[in-house]
Structure 1
Amino acid sequence: MVGRRFAVLIAIIAIILAVSLPAQTAPAQSYSFTLDQENLLVTVLRDGSVDIDYEFRFGNVSSLDYDFGVDVGLPNGEFDLSSATATIIVDGDRIAPRELRDSPYIDTGVAVELEPETIDAIRSSGSFILEFHINNPQMVYRNELQNGTAGVVVRPTWFSAGFQNGNTASINATILLPEGMTDASEVLWLEENPFDPIYVDEATGRLAATWRYVNVDPAQQAAGAYDVGVGFPDRYVDVVYEPPSGDFLGNLGTLICLLLPLIAIAFIIGIVVMAARGARKRREDYFDPKMNVVGAGPRRDLTAVEAAVVSERPLEMIATMILFGLERKGMVKVLSDERPMRLQRLVDRGEHPYESDYMLAITADGTLDRVLLRRALVNLVKSTSTKLKGFDLEATKKYYDTIAEKAWQQVKDAGTPEEFANVLKERNEWMMLDPDYQGRMRRDIWPLPILIGYPRPAPGGGGGPDIGGMARDYVDKVRTTSQNLVDDMRGMARDVVGQTNPRPSPPAGTRVRSSGSSCYCACACACACACAGGGR
C-alpha cells in the first residue's frame, strides 16, 4: 500500500546473535526480575541522529550478586558512549551508576554497572527504576517507497527470557518528529504498526507519535511485532542516510560479521526473517473455514462486517466496522474517542448476533470489556466460518471485492457534495473492505471537489461542504477508533487468533528457544531497522 504510510521491506539483513559467538559471554547468574514497564522516547535530530531515552521499571528482583548490571541494547554500533547517562532509582533515591561502558555481554549496547551499595538497596527493596539516555547517530534513512521522504524505525530493546520472568507488563513508545515540523498530515506511519493520533508535545513543542502495548512477549518483541517508526519529508533534516546497497559483505558493518561462516549467517537470517513474518502473519490468519468447497460459488448474503472477516481484514478494523454500523443505526453513541473509548448503549439488541454481542461488551462506565469484546469477535469469526460451509472461499472473496469496488465508484460518481456525503455514509463500510482504504481515500476521494466542479470556498469565506475535509474526517475516525477501542487492541487480536485459528502443537520432544541477545538489522527501504536486545 502506498500513501501516508511506509512499509519496511527487508531486502538485506545482517544479523549477529550473541549466542553464535563463543567469546564474551555473561557469567552464569541465578537472578531474575519482572519488567513492569518500559518507556521509550526517541527524538529525531537534524543531523540524522536520534536521542534515545529509556525508563525501565523492574520488579520482583531476586538473587542479586555484586556482578549485577543492566545491558541496554541499541540500534547500531554508531552510538556515542560519551553522551550516555544513567540514573538508578531505588525507593525514591536517585543514584549514579558505577560505570557506563560498551557491553561485553551483548553485541551492540551499553552496560550500566552498579555500585555494591546500590545492589544492596535493590536487594532490600526488590524493585528499582533505570533511566538511560544516549545519542545514536546514523538513524535517519531515505524512504524508497515515497520520494522526498525519510524515516526512523526502532525496535524497543528487550531482555533475555533467562532473566526476565513473564511478559513485559506495558511498553510506551514515543517518537518526537524533527524540529520545525508542524503539519501532522505529513507524517508517515508503518504499515503494520500505525501510531496513535499525533499530538504536540508540550515540553518540546514537537509533533509526537505514540504507541502503547500491554502484556508484551519478549520473543515477539525480538521478532519485530512491536517495532515503531515514522516517516516525514526529508527537508526537515540535514542528513539522510541511504539504505544499504545489495553488497552483502559490505553491509555487515562489523568485523565479527566478516568472520562468521556464511552458512551460519544465512541460517540465522532465515530464522529471524521467518519469525518476523510469522509474528505479523499470525495477526492476520484468524479465519480458517473447514468446509470450503471449490467451485461451489460464493456466499452472497453476508454483511459488510462478515465479508471483512472472510477477507481477513485486521480485527481492530472489524471491531471498528461493527461500531460504525451501530452508530449509524442509532444503537450506540460515542461519548469519548480517547483511549479507552467510552460508548453509550441506546438499545439492548442489534440486528445481528455480533452486534448484540458487541453491545454486551459495553460496561457501565462506557468502556469495552476486553473479555466480552474478544468473545464477540471470536463468535463472529466462528459464525462466519459456519456460513461459508458448502461455498467457495475464493469466489466469495472476489464477489465482495467487486461489491467494495462498486461502493468506491458510487462515491466518486456523486454529483454534488450533498450527494457525496449521503453516499459515503451509506457505502463507507463496504469501502472499508479495501486493504488500502486510507490510501484510496487520499488518492481518489480527497481531490473530488475539483473533479465534480463544485466551487471551493474562498479563503475566509463561506462556500459549500468540503469533500476533502469529509473524507479526511472518515479516515481519522477509522484510524482513531481502531486504535482507541481498548488498550492494546493488537494484543487482544492475537488472543482471538489463538481461539479461532490456533497454532498447531509442536511435535513431542521439540523445544523452541529464544534469545534476548542483541541483533543488528539493516532494512533496505524507508529506514534502517533499529533492533537490539538487552539484559545479561
Structure 2
Amino acid sequence: MKSRRKLVISIILVSLSLFCAFSLIKPTGAYYSYYFTVDKMETNVYVQLDGSILINYEIDFTNGAYAHEIDVVDIGFPNKHYDLDSINASIDGIPISDSDILESTVIDIGVEIWLDGNEISAGDSGHLSVNGSNPKMVYGDYDNKSMASVEFSPTWFDESFCSEYDYLEVNLWFPETVNISAEGITKWHHPEHGDPTVGWENDLMYFQWTKTAVPMQQYMFGISFPKDALNSDAVIRWQANPRIIRIVVNVLVWISGISLAVGIVYFIIRYFTVTKKRYYPPKKRTASTTGGLCVCVIYIGIFAAAVLFSTWDSWGDVYAVIGFFIMVIGGFGMLGYFIYRLIRRLGHPYVKPELMIESAGVKKGLSVVEASIIRNTPLNKVIFLIIYGLLKTGHIEIKEVEPLQFNVISEGKESDLKWYHKRFLECVKKSGPEKGLLHESKLRKLLIDLIKRTHRRMKGFNLDATKAYYNNIVNQAWNKVRKLPEKTDIEWDKIKDEYEWLISDDLFEEHSERYFAHRYIYRPPYWYRRYYYYPYYWNRGYYYHYYPTYAPSTGTGPRTMPSQHINIHSLSDSIVRGLENISSKIVNNFQDFANNIVNKVRPVVKSSGGGRSYSGGSGCACACACACAGCACACAGGGR
C-alpha cells in the first residue's frame, strides 16, 4: 500500500514538473511565423580618418508566401559605441522616421527598424537601405606594428527566419589617404574566404568578397593598411589578440574536457573494482529514500532545462561563460587530484645512503612498534603503541588525564618487556610533586634511540619488501576480523594477538567502524580496567543497546568492572580518542618535540620535505622521513 502511494505521489510530482516546464515556454505565434529569403545583401564599410567606420546595407527581402508580414528588421552593429543618431534607413526608397529606429530588444548590440505602414506582406519583396556610423573600430595589426587593421562581420538573421544568403557582397573601403601606391602594403584577413577583388572608385580603394547560396551565419572579414593613413589618435593602442584568446580557450577546454572524461571513467572503474567490492557490515534496514531523491532530481532537472531553454536567447552567452568556468575549474581540479595522487605514489621516504652488499630480503621478527617505524607511522601513534603495550602487560595505569600521569604498578618485574618499554618506565618520574609525569628529555632520547636502533636492524635488508611484509600482516589481521561472526559474543582471546597490529594501521579508525560496529566481546580484556573509567580521555560512546557501565569509586574500595557485552568498536573508538589526545597531553608542545627528534635522526642529505605540518591539532611527525608528506620526519630505513 505504501509503495503504491509513493508511486502515485511520484507520478503527480513528475506531471507537475512537466506542466511547469512547458508553461515557462511561451513562444508567440509571430515568433515562429516569420520566414523570408535574402535575395541579395550588399555591405559597404568605409574606414574614416578618425578611426570610425561608415556602414551601408542594401538588402533585398522576399517574404514567404504564408509567412507573417515583415514589420520590423533587426540590424547588428560591431560594438556598443555605434552612434544611434547617425543611423537612417529607407524601405523601397521611402525614408523611415527616426522614431522608428530604436535600440534592439532582441540582439545584444544593434537596432530595430520598424516598417510602420510599409511592411513587406506575404509573398512580396522589398528593398531595405540602412546607413550608420560606428566609432572605435581601428586597432593595431598583430603581425605588423606599423599597420592598422579593421575587422567587420555583416549582420545576419536567425536561421529559423532565413536559412541562407542567396547573394552576399562585402566591400571594405580603405581610407582616402591610402592611394594606388599603397596597394602593395595592404592586406586582407581570413583567407578562408578566398582572395578579394581589388577595386577603385572615386579615388578610393576597396577589397570585395562575394558569396552565393551560403548558410545564414556570421562571416568575418578584415583589412590592414599603414597607420600613417589615419589621424595619430585614431588607432586603439591595445586589444586582446582574438587568435591568442581562441587558442587559450581551446586549450583550456580540451585539457578540462579530457581531465573530466578521464576522471569520470576512473571513478566509475574504481567504483566497480574497489568500492563496490569492499566489505561493509550489514545494517538495520530502514525506509529507502532513493525513490524520493530520484523524483526530486528529475523535477529539478526538468525545471532547470525549461528555464535554460526559455531564457537561452537572452542569457545564452552568460550560461556559456558560466559553463566554461565550471568546466575549467572542474577539469583542472580533477587534474590536480591526479597530480596529487601521482606525487604521493612517487614520493618515497629518504634512506640514508650506504654502500651495502646485496639485500638479504625481508627483515622479519620486528615488533609492532619497530614495524611502525619502518611503515612511516606518526610519532604520536608510536608513543601510544608503547603505552598500550605497558597497559596490556599491567606495568602501568593511567592515574590522571590533566596533565597525563602514569602509575608504575609492577616496578622490578620487567624481564618480559622490550627494551623500549623499560626505557619508557624510566621516563616516568618516581617522586616529588611531578610524580607520574614524563621526563620530556628522556622520552625524546628514547624515541631517537628507537629510530636509530631500528635503522641498524634494517642494515642489509630490503626496506620496500619489509614494509610490504608488515603491511600484509596488518591486512591479514583485518581479514581475520572480517570472518568473525556478527552480533555474536566473541572471546577477546580470538583477536588479542591481532589487535595491536590493527591499532598500528593508519586507517584504524575507518576500518574499526566498518568491521567492529556489529561485533561484541563477552568479557572485556583483562587490561580494560586500567583506563575504562577515564571517559574524557578515552571514551567516545557506545553502539546499540550494549552499554558498559561502572559504579563510581567510593573511598578506597575496588572499582566495579563494566558489564558484559562490550561493542568492539566502542573499545576501539576509545583507542582513537587516546591517540588523538596523546600529543597534546604528553608534552607541552608536541610539534617542537617531534621536530627536535627529527633533527637528531634526519639523514645528512638535502631534503625537499621537512618543515611543520598539523593535522587536527595533534601534530604530524612521522617516524620515517617521507618527502611527500610535508611534515617533520626521521628515517629508519636501510637496504637498497
Scaled by the length of structure 2, the TM-score of the pair is 0.33
Greater relative contact order (Cα 8 A, min sep 6): structure 1 or 2?
1
Larger Rg: 2
